Amino acid sequence: EVFTAMTDMSRLLTTEGEMIRAVENFIIAQEEKLEKLKKDLYEMERVHDKASLSPEDFLANPINAYLLVKRLTVDWTDLQNFMTDNSMGQEMLTNLTSMAELLRWPDEEDLNGAAVALMRLQDTYKLDTAHLARGQINGNIHAYRELTASDCFELGRQSYNSGDHYHTTLWMNEALNRYEMETNKTVIYADILEYLAFSTYMQGNVRQALKLTDELLVERPDHQRALGNRAYYLEALNSQQAKKRGDDSDNIDVEAVEKGYTVTENVDVNDAWHRERRSYERLCRGEGKLLPQVAKKLNCYYQNGPTDFLRIGPVKTEVVHIHPNIYIYHDVLSDSEVATIKELATPSFKRATVQNYKTGELETASYRISKSSWLKAEDSETVTRVNNRIGSITGLNMDTAEELQVANYGLGGHYEPHYDYAQREEKDAFKILGTGNRIATFLFYMSDVEAGGATVFPHLNIALWPKKGAAAYWYNLYPNGEGDALTRHAACPVLVGTKWVSNKWIHERGQEFRRPCALNIDALE
């Protein structure tokens, strides 16, 4: 016991002194943390207010949109951890989570989706990593701020989680560049190196992976995973060299690996898929040029038949391709019709699905990213009027057509090359309906798009650029009912802005006298 002697009691004062200092230090540390939190909050408020002035414009920029998702996931997790460290914060969190049903919180899947979308934009539009990190999208379109090392790191980490080592190395390298420039470091150097080394290894560059791991070990000599990886990379390198010595026929690959080229196995970059892909991306970037002999056959005119509707009010028609014929009709949907259709469709928007051709089931797929819903003619007078207008312009029977589909593409939204007509097994679904296949597509553009978002036909070398109020129209089938493979088309990813379309798929039944069928595919109109 201490109270019996003065000497022991005086030692208590020393203890108390320590206690006071500890509390003091605690307060200083908390104040510093709060100071930093205040600064972060101030910045968040500033951006938030700016964004709220015009959410559509702000979020039209894919980097701004990505950063918003990141703030509500990664940054929010950090804030939560900070706040659970003290009891007042805990209470606030409880309040906030009780509002969970009212608020929309993005989750890890949303963050991953946003990151994957950015990577898609980067690839399709050939955007440079360093430019993107500076917040530059294309031309003079900028994000509200540059990316920090931590933002780049997070993009790398998300790519890593998707098994995409190519983008992991791009973004982790950029995170390193940014890290070196930062005075207030936003990320841990060793973490970047660890991801970068592993993805570099996965990309086939073992030597570089080893070098990066050695760098990491200089910084953190007792980093257990780095030590383990180092041994592993060394072994991989040794066995490669052994293989190189023993087997000359293989040395091309080994050299490629050592020089840091990606080893791509069994990939013929000239196969049909790759050729189509290249054409698709080129067209999306606006690089497709029509051959003069093709271009000279195209023309514009006022179409004033075959229906009374067109005789009274001819439609501005642009022929954008011949055989198969593709038309653009200008000013066929008014701004107020567009507004009504958007309003009607939005409440029932769902992530768009595609039909699995093996199982016949509808499912979501990464190659079609948009939200969509269907509008019945009974739903509104506007929908009825619009349906009738399509009938008048095309001269086709609308009774067997599908409902009007409305779609909105957001951050990186797209629809990769596809046919609108049903093939093989899918055809059965239409047989059951008794309406036949999708003979034609009528596609309204309900918005302009700031950048990207063209409808492209990779096998025809044409790109249609969305223009609010205009519509594209083409036959998917030959007169004999066979699908016209040249009508394969795609919706390019939206780079900046948002894209709205609505489309009508017109079916075969009911067109027998309007578009007579023929026995062979050469019987074109």
Which residues of the shown chain bind ligand AKG in the complex (CB under 6 A)? Answer: 415, 420, 443, 455, 489, 491, 501, 503
Q: Give the phi and the psi of residue 341 in degrees, each rounded to 5.
A: -65, -40
**Pick from Fe ion, ligand AKG, none: which does 394 bind, CB < 5 to 8 A by kind?**
none
CB of 355 to Fe ion, least distance (A): 13
d(CA 490, CA 17): 73
d(CA 172, CA 170): 6
CB of 37 to ligand AKG, least distance (A): 44
Each residue 212-251 as x (binds Fe ion by CB under 5 A) or -, in order, gives ----------------------------------------
Among 149-157, 196-204, 354-362, 419-427, which window interacts with Fe ion (CB under 5 A)? 419-427
CB of 443 to ligand AKG, least distance (A): 6
Whichever of 240 and 455 has its CB closer to ligand AKG, that residue is: 455
Strand blocks (E) in 4-82: none
Residue 450 binding Fe ion, by CB under 5 A? no
CB of 415 to Fe ion, least distance (A): 6
Whichever of 215 and 416 has its CB closer to ligand AKG, that residue is: 416
Residue 420 binding Fe ion, by CB under 5 A? yes
CB of 60 to Fe ion, least distance (A): 24
Each residue 364-403 as x (binds Fe ion by CB under 5 A) or -, in order, gives ----------------------------------------
Burial label for 160, CB within 10 Å (0-12, 13-18, 19+), is: buried
CB of 139 to ligand AKG, least distance (A): 22
Tokens 């892909």 sit on residue: 277
CB of 406 to ligand AKG, least distance (A): 10
H-run or E-run covering 34 = helix 6-53
d(CA 184, CA 335): 49
Whichever of 194 and 420 has its CB closer to Fe ion, that residue is: 420
DSSP 248: G
Among 12-20, 50-58, 374-382, 414-422, which window interacts with Fe ion (CB under 5 A)? 414-422
Among 19-27, 103-111, 260-268, 412-420, which window interacts with Fe ion (CB under 5 A)? 412-420
Residue 174 binding Fe ion, by CB under 5 A? no
Q: What is the 3-state secondary structure (H, E, C) of 109-159?
A: HHHHHHHHHHHHHHHHCCCCHHHHHCCECCCCCECCCCCCHHHHHHHHHHH
Residue 154 binding Fe ion, by CB under 5 A? no
Q: What angle do CA 153, 154, 158 make, to 5 degrees?
A: 120
Q: What angle do CA 317, 318, 321 make, to 5 degrees?
A: 135
Residue 407 binding Fe ion, by CB under 5 A? no
3-state secondary structure of 512: coil
Whichever of 281 and 420 has its CB closer to ligand AKG, that residue is: 420
Neighbours of 443 (CB within 10 A): 23
Residue 55, preceding bond cis, omega within 30 degrees?
no
Whichever of 210 and 443 has its CB closer to ligand AKG, that residue is: 443
- Residue 83 near residue 89 (C-beta atoms within 8 A): yes
**Pick from Fe ion, ligand AKG, none: which does 487 bind, CB < 5 to 8 A by kind?**
none
CA 330 to chain CA centroid, nearest Å: 29
CB of 419 to ligand AKG, least distance (A): 9
**Pick from Fe ion, ligand AKG, none: which does 389 bind, CB < 5 to 8 A by kind?**
none
Angle between helices 224-246 and 189-202 (to 10 degrees): 20
Residue 483 binding Fe ion, by CB under 5 A? no
Whichever of 147 and 496 has its CB closer to ligand AKG, that residue is: 496
Q: Residue 191 corresponds to which tokens in the numbers above?
A: 């973490």
Among 145-153, 238-246, 338-346, 416-424, which window interacts with Fe ion (CB under 5 A)? 416-424
Neighbours of 515 (CB within 10 A): 20
Angle between helices 206-219 and 251-259 (to 10 degrees): 30
CB of 456 to ligand AKG, least distance (A): 8
DSSP 354: E
**Pick from ligand AKG, Fe ion, none: which does 332 bind, CB < 5 to 8 A by kind?**
none
CB of 32 to ligand AKG, least distance (A): 51
**Pick from Fe ion, ligand AKG, none: which does 203 bind, CB < 5 to 8 A by kind?**
none
How many chain residues bind Fe ion (CB under 5 A)?
1
CB of 422 to ligand AKG, least distance (A): 12
Closest residue to Fe ion using C-beta atoms = 420
Residue 508 binding Fe ion, by CB under 5 A? no
- CA-wise closest residue to 483 among 515, 501, 508: 508
Burial label for 454, CB within 10 Å (0-12, 13-18, 19+), is: buried
Task: Give contact residues for Fe ion (rule: CB under 5 A).
Answer: 420
